[in-house]
């Protein structure tokens, strides 16, 4: 029996995690809107839920993990009347909306694979579930919480508020909940400004539309997650997750829809992952304050002077708690790169420890308990990582002959550190210790070459400096000179 507690955004408290079915956890996580390349911020959220998924599996649960692909209906600025960015992109590039969707879905999958995330059990698309969404909207209308106006359908928030509380997740007052909507288009159709769209009428020029009882149109953004979570997980399930920016309006609207459909609907734990920032501002596709995984992995960007591997990025993310804001910076990534290397070599070194009859200086079962305690406390990965460092610190003292370890404890420690490192945190062991050391030596050698080249340039010995640059370039190492320093990429 485990002791897992999770922070439930709905109650604002840490709660003991008890799934509805004792062996099976049902989890829904909002997936990406596929109109552009996935950025590092999106990746952080999906890695946060990957660790949660991995840990639930490790605890022995079967997990039905549903993560959707939003390929229609999520309008610009989360509004009810903006453009659909997928349609906009298709128009701009003169291609089908489904070509846009295909391109960015592939990019999303490729990057999540590089980041060693485990695919969900089901990955449904919004366009593949139009019928389910129409059925859901029909029932909401039948139950009296939806109304049709000029070919669109809206959710009647004030009426819903009589049977429940709208906005309970984001804890907002009804007066604050005016839905972002342009006054000219559609807003006048709403009975109240708090209402939100379940279905939108499409005009003749609109290129992504379906027949419905209300005429040609497309579903509102919130309809898809309610329809798909209910289809695959039922109207009561365990975990619903997503980035914290989805609390309102998306998740509050989902709660309202589910309850309007069936008053017994309930999602027990709402988990929200916090944002990745760049220069202190939320990383975001629409503002352009973003960096793509590929740009970080191959060093092709104007922000960082070197490349960082997917493994380092993953470790960097997990060094922060998933509910904390995290700022991306070169110094922090360099520190993570060093830390990860140290941890990896440290774990590998455990296998080389000479054993004695007894263990001294370290209580291994207490250490293991503390590792689980960290993860059981709302998936505290930074604390778990600090426990892994404690273990290698101890292993190093055995290596130096200061402490002793028994054969049984050595095997146990190696096994446990490896499981926490690779199975739960999802980090890759990157080749042999020799490879890591060789890479380190290469970095140091390049620093020496860059130094010699800078000195030659200062002495106006351009023959030598050019030779260093050109010969390195021939073997695939590019030097970049900026005002105050020279960096390299390979």
The binding site for ligand AMP (CB under 6 A) comprises 30, 32-33, 41-42, 44-45, 70, 242-243, 245-246, 275-276, 282-284
Closer to ligand AMP at the Cβ: 41 or 186? 41
Instruction: Choose from Zn ion, ligand AMP, none: what does 310 bind? Cβ within 5-8 Å by kind.
Output: none
In the complex, minimum distance from the CB of residue 43 to ligand AMP, in angstroms, rounded to a whole number: 8
> In whole angstroms, how close is the CB of 242 to Zn ion at the nearest point?
6
CA-based radius of gyration for the chain: 26
Shortest Å, Cβ 42 to ligand AMP: 4
- The structure tokens listed for 258 are 């589910």
Query: Do residues 28 and 237 make contact, with C-beta atoms less than 8 angstroms apart?
Result: yes
Q: Beta strand 13-16 with 217-219: parallel, antiparallel or unpaired?
A: unpaired
Binding partner of residue 8 among Zn ion, ligand AMP, none, CB cut-off 5 to 8 Å per kind: none
Partner in contact with 146, chosen from Zn ion, ligand AMP, none, beta carbon below 5 to 8 Å by kind = none
Taking CA atoms, 84 is separated from 100, 132, 151, 220, in Å, by 12, 21, 18, 11
Taking the C-alpha atoms of residue 266 and residue 34, their distance in angstroms, rounded to an integer, is: 28
CB of 303 to ligand AMP, least distance (A): 15
Residue 371's binding partner, choosing from ligand AMP, Zn ion, none, with beta-carbon cut-off 5 to 8 A by kind?
Answer: none
Binding partner at 41 among ligand AMP, Zn ion, none, C-beta below 5 to 8 Å by kind: ligand AMP
Encoded tokens for 458? 């200062």
Q: Nearest to residue 456, comparing CAs of 464, 448, 447, 468?
A: 464
Between 74 and 179, name the residue whose CB sits nearer to ligand AMP.
74
- For residue 314, is it left (φ>0), alpha (ψ between -120 and 50) or beta? alpha
Q: Which does 225 bind (CB under 5 to 8 A by kind): ligand AMP, Zn ion, none?
A: Zn ion
Distance of alpha carbon 433 from alpha carbon 414, whole angstroms: 15
Tell me whether residue 86 or residue 137 sits nearer to ligand AMP (CB atom).
Answer: 86
Distance of alpha carbon 399 from its chain centroid, rounded?
38
| Least CB distance to ligand AMP at residue 275 (A) | 4
Residue 44 binds which entry of ligand AMP, Zn ion, none, CB below 5-8 Å type-dependent:
ligand AMP
> How many angstroms separate the CA atoms of 311 and 366, rounded?
29
Q: How far is the CB of 326 from ligand AMP (least distance, A)?
A: 8
Answer yes or no: are the C-beta atoms of 234 and 19 closer than 8 Å.
Answer: no
What's the Cα-to-Cα distance from 375 to each of 189, 395, 417, rounded to whole Å? 49, 22, 14
Measured distance CA(18)–CA(343) in Å, rounded: 33
The vertex-33 CA angle with 32 and 34, nearest 5°, equals 100
Residue 93: CB minimum distance to Zn ion, A? 26
The partner in contact with residue 276, picked from Zn ion, ligand AMP, none with C-beta cut-offs of 5 to 8 angstroms by kind, is ligand AMP
Which residues are bridge partners to 238 per DSSP? none
Q: Which is nearer to ligand AMP, 262 or 286 (CB)?
A: 286
- The CB-of-313 to ligand AMP minimum distance in angstroms stands at 13
Report the partner that residue 245 touches, choosing among ligand AMP, Zn ion, none (CB closer than 5 to 8 A by kind).
ligand AMP
Q: Terminal CA-to-CA distance of the chain, rounded, Å?
A: 49
Q: Give me the least distance between CB of 98 and ligand AMP, in Å please.
A: 17
Q: Looking at beta carbons only, is 147 or 218 nearer to Zn ion?
A: 218
44 vs 404, beta carbon nearer ligand AMP: 44
For residues 420 and 390, what is the distance between their CA atoms, to the nearest angstrom? Answer: 13
Residue 32 touches which member of ligand AMP, Zn ion, none, C-beta under 5-8 Å by kind: ligand AMP
3-state secondary structure 170-183: CCCCHHHCCCCCCC
Nearer to ligand AMP, 279 or 467 (CB): 279
Q: Are 475 and 487 in contact (CB under 8 A)?
A: no
Nearer to ligand AMP, 68 or 395 (CB): 68
Q: Reply yes or no: is the peptide bond before residue 249 cis, omega within 30 of 0.
A: yes
Shortest approach of ligand AMP to residue 88 CB, angstroms?
Answer: 15
Name the site residues for Zn ion (rule: CB under 5 A).
30, 225
When the beta carbons of 24 and 106 are compared against ligand AMP, the nearer one is 106
Shorter beta-carbon distance to Zn ion: residue 221 or 394: 221
Q: Is 29 helix (H, G, I), strand (E, B) or coil?
A: strand
d(CA 384, CA 376): 10
- What is the nearest approach in angstroms of ligand AMP to the Cβ of residue 243? 2
Q: Which is nearer to ligand AMP, 119 or 443 (CB)?
A: 119
User: E strands, 83-235, where?
Assistant: 146-149, 152-155, 196-201, 217-219
CA 261 – CA 145 distance, rounded (Å): 9
Q: Which residue is nearest to ligand AMP (CB)?
A: 243
């Amino acid at each position: 029996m485990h002791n897992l507690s999770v922070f439930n955004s709905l109650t604002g408290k840490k709660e003991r995690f008890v799934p509805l079915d004792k062996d099976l956890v049902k989890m829904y996580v909002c997936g990406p809107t596929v109109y552009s390349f996935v950025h590092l911020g999106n990746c952080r959220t999906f890695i946060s839920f990957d660790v949660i998924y991995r840990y639930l599996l490790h605890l022995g649960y079967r997990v039905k993990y549903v993560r959707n692909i939003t390929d229609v209906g999520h309008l610009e600025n989360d509004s009810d009347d903006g453009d659909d960015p997928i349609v906009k992109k298709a128009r701009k590039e003169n291609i089908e909306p489904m070509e846009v969707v295909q391109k960015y879905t592939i990019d999303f999958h490729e990057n999540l694979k590089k980041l060693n995330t485990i695919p969900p059990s089901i990955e449904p698309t919004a366009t593949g579930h139009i019928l389910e969404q129409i059925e859901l909207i029909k029932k909401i209308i039948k139950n009296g919480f939806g109304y049709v106006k000029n070919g669109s359908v809206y959710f009647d928030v004030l009426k819903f508020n009589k049977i429940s509380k709208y906005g309970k997740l984001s804890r907002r007052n009804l007066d604050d909940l005016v839905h972002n909507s342009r006054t000219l288009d559609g807003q006048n159709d709403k009975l109240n400004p708090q209402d939100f769209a379940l279905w939108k009428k499409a005009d003749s020029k609109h290129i992504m539309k379906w027949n419905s009882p209300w005429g040609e149109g497309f579903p509102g953004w919130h309809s898809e997650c309610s329809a798909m979570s209910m289809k695959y997980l039922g109207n009561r399930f365990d975990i619903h997750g997503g980035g914290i920016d989805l609390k309102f309006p998306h998740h509050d609207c989902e709660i309202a829809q589910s309850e309007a459909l069936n008053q017994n609907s309930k999602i027990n734990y709402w988990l929200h992952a916090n944002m990745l920032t760049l220069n202190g501002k939320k990383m975001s596709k629409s503002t352009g304050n973003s960096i793509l995984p590929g740009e970080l992995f191959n060093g092709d960007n104007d922000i960082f002077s070197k490349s960082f591997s997917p493994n380092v990025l993953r470790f960097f993310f997990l060094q922060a708690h998933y509910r904390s804001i995290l700022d991306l910076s070169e110094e922090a990534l360099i520190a993570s790169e060093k830390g990860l290397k140290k941890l990896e070599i440290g774990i590998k070194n455990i296998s080389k420890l000479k054993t004695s009859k007894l263990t001294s200086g370290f209580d291994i079962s207490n250490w293991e308990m503390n590792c689980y305690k960290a993860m059981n406390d709302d998936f505290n990965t930074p604390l778990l990582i600090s426990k892994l460092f404690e273990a290698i610190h101890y292993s190093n003292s055995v290596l130096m002959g200061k402490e002793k370890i028994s054969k049984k404890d050595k095997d146990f420690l190696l096994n446990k550190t490896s499981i926490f490192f690779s199975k739960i945190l999802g980090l890759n062991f990157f080749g042999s210790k020799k490879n890591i050391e060789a890479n380190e030596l290469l970095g140091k050698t390049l620093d020496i070459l860059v130094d010699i080249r800078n000195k030659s340039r200062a002495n106006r010995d351009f023959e030598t400096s050019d030779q260093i640059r050109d010969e390195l370039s021939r073997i695939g190492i590019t030097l970049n000179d900026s005002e105050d320093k020279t960096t390299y990429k390979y």
